[in-house]
Structure 1
Amino acid sequence: MTAQLDEALLRSLTPGVLGILVRRGADFAAAEDAVQDALIEAIRVWPADPPRDPKGWLVTVAWRKFLDATRAEAARRRREDVLDEEPEPGQAAAVDDTLQLYFLCAHPSLSSSSAVALTLRAVGGLTTRQIAQAYLVPEATMAQRISRAKRTVSGVRFDQPGDVATVLRVLYLVFNEGYSGDVDLAAEAIRLTRQLAAAIDHPEVAGLLALMLLHHARRATRTAPDGGLVPLAEQDRGRWDTALIAEGVEILQAALARDRLGEYQAQAAIAALHADAPTAGETDWVQIVAWYDELVRLTGSPIVRLNRAVAVGEADGPRAGLAALAELDDSLPRHTAVAAYLHERDGDLATAARLYAEAAHQAPHLAERDYLTRQAARLNTRRH
């Protein structure tokens, strides 16, 4: 096996191994540390001597690491029964605890950032260093965050029912981080959501997976060679990943057929309509507005209403879009940028240029700031 194959296999086995240790009676924090130690040992040993039963090997080594750590602490009398006998690796292999791990790592007592970090480590099998690099924070900072999260959930019973919506929100946060460091978090989020979809039959899990696939299909066209943003209407649709789009649409159609609509299914339906349009001019904006109406009904989100205003401007004209925008708080993120776009569509170039410049000052990211600055400059050049 190659080193790359080893890493992919290790990460896919991580939640099952951790679940076995916890079900045997190991404290979650101690079990997670033992699994990480076993993963490090596997990276060292497997390239030269790959095991016939990778999961059994990891369970055996992780359990021994846990026992060694536990025996080293004299105050562990409450685990004496656990230490009396070392079970065989396959004893708990028939139980798949992956779903419970998702619920545990997305526990409502955790902050969003802690839940994301713990999910990536315990379910995703990433190292603390990899997670820290992906989130552009020092490794020591991420280690403290993960340690606090593990302590928080250590007292939670492993068989308690979890909240699917919280798990999906955590995975959605991971996906939206995209790529930085040596870990592609968008791809990792898709992998974990596929894993979740295999463990639970839920239309919103399918909806989120479809949404991720449809967005990811456009990834290669979102930025120019110089790193600048390329808006959806200007992307080269011939470079979109048609296989991912087809898979996303198929998953979405199966979820919608169950008639249990949720926000991720509605978002995926909007993404599918964009993906289905051969050109930007052929986009079915009327249907997109209808799906935004469903999203507003489901979420009441001001951001959804802001995006709906853009869609209304495309479907019914810029003045209708501006009227929808006027109903919203102008302090919303991207409100000024949307107003600039709609004023430009309406032919008011002076107002649009001024608003693009204002939006550039408000933009949280350099690429977005550069794009909006170029838009303002373009309109100012046209006016003179």
Structure 2
Amino acid sequence: MPYLSFFQRTLSACCCSAFILLFSLSNAQNVSAQNPQYIPYSFADIAEKIRPAVVNINTVQTIGAIIEQIPQANSNDGRPPSREKNPIHQFKRRSLGSGVIIGKEGYIITNNHVIEASDEIRVKLSDDQEFQAKIIGKDVKTDIALIKIAPTAQELPVAVLGDSNALRVGEWVIAVGNPYGLSQTVTAGIISAKGRVMGNPYDDFIQTDASINPGNSGGPLVNINGEVIGINTAIFGQVDQNRFAQGIGFAIPINIVREVVDDLQQYGRVKRGWVGIVIQEITPEIVASFNLPNTKGALVTGIVPDGPADKAGIVRGDVILRFNDVDIAHSIDLPRIAADYEPGATSSLLINRDGEEMLIPLTLGEFPEPETPTFPFEELPVQ
């Protein structure tokens, strides 16, 4: 074997190292080109892209207190004292939130609980311009609201909406908002989980460990391409004790938001198909009691009087197995599937009644708006 000098051996080793390094870099570049979800060196470019479209929202609600005044009992005419109700004080309750501009006409997405019951809504842009906003529509079920500011002479920056269905657990995201009034705050984290349910059949939350705090509500959750993939809405904790979990925040997927906003722009509310029943999950105990083959389906435990199910002949104890051509794997599937249909649509339910399967035609009603809003930032069971 020929003798290699120190220089030759060193040169040979360097060439090999260079080849390996270049090969590794080439492979890394190929991986990055095929899959853009690499670890970014900096989030600055992403933040600069989205921040102009993020707004601060300040709301004011006027609240009046009423007290009963009881006069002295020694009235001259001998009548018993009367009770009088007089307003004694009014005060203004202020709240903070965030929003994201989605239309050059001034349309802004935020959370319903940010603007609910407010008398005045003020929007502050990233360049410190302030505008009065009006409510276009709101949806309590998904906690989404659409508001609008008057167009300005300049063109408003508009956020790019992404595809939340394409999200994968572990992807990098950033949250932008107005936590505790600290405007244009950017935090980073990852997608921790998808499809979280917090007690509402319409829940399908994205969970993230990007820091989300009160005031972030209504702000965007953004992927590394600068696209909005969710609207931040809740953190996990106990409101009454002012204790909130760290690194457990929730956002509404943008694909759900898109559908809601379309209805809000047209009708000011979301039109959802409604069956008019109370249902529960089928447990192994129910399977044994009702002699069912498995836990699939939704058990009917209540009927809304004169509702669609009542008119169709559905009764308590029925097990709904299929809605049109979609199997019901879990009870939560039924209201979600029905909500995708227009009120008035004719549907068919495959049910199990006393061990016998039958098809029942049903005309969907419109889901009634709840009288009171549901607010996040509560201690709720998460699935």
TM-score by length of 2: 0.27
- Higher strand proportion (structure 1 or 2): 2
TM-score by length of 1: 0.27
